[in-house]
Amino acid sequence: MRAGAVAMVAALSAAGCSHPILQREASKPAPVPDPKTQMRPLEFRVMALVQQERQTLNPESKTLMLDPVLMDVARKRARDMAAKGYFADAAPDGTTSATLVMSEDTKFQGLLGVNIAAQHYTAQAGVDPDTFAQRFLDTWLKSPSHKQNLAFADYNRTGVGAALTGDTVIVVQLFATNLGLPPPKDHAWRGKPVRMASPEAAKTAMELPRLRGLTLTQ
């Protein structure tokens, strides 16, 4: 009797018989992750794709190392834009990525690049880090100034921040290099950040004695 029972179970399984409730549960789509939980994976995916693209555009590009100060400021900038409803590097109170970096790192000098972009999402589809990271990269590559920042070979530090506002994802990526300048002396005079037209222009300007030791931003 035991052998017969086993044989019957096997036959039913082979015929494709299954419980209707289990069948409905198996076909139920997986729930979409909360977009808020996807911001950190998105940040690191953007970082990885940008690094890959830099090597494609210029094999001589330096590897971008994660910088804690740049990461913190990038996240603050993205969250501030999301909270206050603006889309620019300069906040309504006048603060910028450069002024925040200089306040957090009193010895920062050299060049700071800023790339910002936004993408819409739907609650039904959510935010897939791989898909959205590629969209942000594609957006920057279509813009000459953003592409210049992304491809500038001398940048060797970076930080990425992402935030949600309504149905929009905002991403900020910061790039930095000291352009080979020696460490600043303690209590050295530091002026306001100087905005430049391009990273290459900033690199040339940094050779001028009057601009050495300042923070240039693009």
Tens of pLDDT, residue by residue over 132-175, are: 999 999 999 999 999 999 999 999 999 999 999 999 999 999 99
| Pair of tokens at residue 152 | 């500038």
In 3D space, the residue among 131, 96, 130, 137 whose CA is nearest the CA of residue 114 turns out to be 96
Q: What is the DSSP letter of 126?
A: -
In this prediction, residues 76-84 reach a mean pLDDT of: 97
Find all residues with CB under 8 Å of 201, minimum gap 6, and list them.
none
* 194, 215 contact by CB (below 8 A): yes
Kindly report the length of the chain: 218
Q: Which pLDDT band, with edges at 50, 70 and 90, does 197 fall under?
A: confident
